[in-house]
C-alpha cells in the first residue's frame, strides 16, 4: 500500500480530523474494551479480608468470599476473566513448594467458590512454585541451581490440580524449559483437554516485579535472583525463540511480561506468529502510575488508559492488569 500522502499542505491538514471528539472517534485506529482486560487478583486466607498492599495503592489481598464479589463485579463491568495469584504465609512455604500441589489450597478453593457463584467467568491460574517455596524461586533449588526437569514434574501436578478445581486457563510463569508440552500432556491425560494454556513465553528478569513479590509474601525471602531462567532484558530474538517453542509445545496463546518496557517484543511476536498475544501490565508498572498520580505529577486516569491502549496498539489481543476494574469503569462511564 502506498503510504505517501496524495496531497500536501495546505490542501492536506492532518489536524482537521482532530478538531472534534466525534471525528477523533471515527479516525481512531485502536480501541480498548472491557472485554480486552483480565483482572489480576491477589488472594489471601481468611474471611471478609480486604487487606491493602502498601506498594500497590488501591489493590487489596482478597479472601475467597471477597474474590467471589470481585468476580461478580467483573461480570457486571464486562471483564471476561480473572487471573488469580496466592499470598502464602511463611508457615505454609517449603523448599519444594508442596502447598502448590494441595488440591484444597487457596487457589483451588477460590476457583471452586468463584465458579459456583459466577460459572461463566473465565479463570486463569498462575503455575509456578515461587508463591509456595521458602526460597522464593519458581522451581526446586539444589546447591544454588534450579532443577529444571524435576520442577516441570511438579508443575504438571499443580496444573492438573488447578484445572480440576475449575480454572479455564493454565498460565505457567516459571520459565522452565519444556513445561508447556509436559503440562499439555498432563492436562490431556487427566481429562482436561479443553483447558487452555497461556504461556508466559517471553518473561524477562525484570525490576518491575517488586510490588508483586510483596503482594504474595515473597519479598525478602528470595535467595539470589532469577536470571538463570527468566530472560535477559537485552534480548529480543531470544523472545521469538521462546514463543516458537511454546507454540510448538501446544500453547493456545502467549504472553509478554512485563508489558510497557517490552512493547517492541509484543509487536515482534504478533507480526512473526499471528498467534493470540497478551501483555501483562505488572505490579511495578501499576505502582509507578499510582505513585505519580498520588503526588499530582500526572493525571492517573489518563495515564492508566494511555498505558492500556499502548498494548493494543503494539498488537496485544488483551492485557492482564491490576487496573482492569478501574479501566472498565472508565470505559463504561
Active site residues: 203, 257
Contact of 318 with 277, CB cutoff 8 Å: no
Question: CA angle at residue 57 from 34 to 68, to 5 degrees?
Answer: 50
* DSSP classification of residue 232: P
Phi, psi of 126 (to 5 degrees): -70, 135
Residue among 240, 237, 238 at smallest CA distance from 229: 238
Q: Which residues contact 285 (CB under 8 A, 6 or more apart)?
A: 208, 258, 259, 260, 307
Buried b / exposed e over 1-40, threshold 16 CB at 10 Å, is: eeeeeeeeeeeeeeeeeeeeeeeeeeeeeeebebebbbbb
CA 196 to chain centre: 15
Q: How many residues does the chain have?
A: 333
Amino acid at each position: 500500500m502506498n503510504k505517501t500522502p496524495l496531497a500536501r499542505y495546505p490542501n492536506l491538514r492532518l489536524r482537521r480530523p482532530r478538531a472534534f471528539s466525534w471525528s477523533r472517534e471515527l479516525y481512531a485506529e485502536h480501541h480498548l474494551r472491557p472485554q480486552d482486560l483480565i483482572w489480576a487478583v491477589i488472594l489471601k486466607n481468611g474471611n471478609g479480608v480486604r487487606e491493602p498492599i502498601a506498594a500497590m495503592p488501591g489493590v487489596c489481598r482478597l479472601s475467597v468470599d471477597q474474590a467471589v464479589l470481585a468476580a461478580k463485579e467483573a461480570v457486571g463491568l464486562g471483564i471476561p476473566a480473572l487471573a488469580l495469584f496466592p499470598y502464602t504465609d511463611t508457615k505454609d512455604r517449603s523448599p519444594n513448594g508442596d502447598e502448590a500441589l494441595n488440591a484444597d489450597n487457596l487457589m483451588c478453593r477460590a476457583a471452586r467458590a468463584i465458579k459456583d457463584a459466577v460459572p461463566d467467568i473465565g479463570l486463569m491460574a498462575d503455575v509456578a512454585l515461587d508463591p509456595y517455596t521458602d526460597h522464593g524461586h519458581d522451581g526446586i533449588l539444589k546447591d544454588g541451581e534450579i532443577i529444571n526437569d524435576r520442577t516441570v514434574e511438579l508443575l504438571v501436578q499443580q496444573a492438573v490440580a488447578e484445572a480440576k478445581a475449575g480454572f479455564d486457563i493454565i498460565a505457567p510463569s516459571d520459565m522452565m524449559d519444556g513445561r508447556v508440552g509436559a503440562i499439555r500432556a498432563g492436562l490431556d491425560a487427566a481429562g482436561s483437554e479443553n483447558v487452555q494454556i497461556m504461556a508466559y513465553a517471553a518473561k524477562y528478569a525484570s525490576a518491575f516485579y517488586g510490588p508483586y513479590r510483596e503482594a504474595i509474601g515473597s519479598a525478602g525471602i528470595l535467595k539470589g535472583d532469577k536470571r538463570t531462567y527468566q530472560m535477559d532484558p537485552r534480548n529480543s530474538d531470544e523472545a521469538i525463540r521462546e514463543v516458537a517453542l511454546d507454540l510448538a509445545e501446544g500453547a493456545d496463546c502467549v504472553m509478554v511480561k512485563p508489558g510497557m518496557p517490552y512493547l517492541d517484543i509484543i509487536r515482534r511476536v504478533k507480526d512473526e506468529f499471528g498467534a493470540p498475544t497478551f501483555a501483562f501490565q505488572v505490579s511495578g508498572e501499576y505502582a509507578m502510575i499510582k505513585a505519580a498520580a498520588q503526588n499530582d505529577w500526572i493525571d492517573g486516569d489518563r495515564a492508566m488508559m494511555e498505558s492500556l491502549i499502548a498494548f493494543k496498539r503494539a498488537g496485544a489481543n488483551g492485557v492482564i492488569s491490576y487496573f482492569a476494574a478501574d479501566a472498565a469503569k472508565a470505559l463504561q462511564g
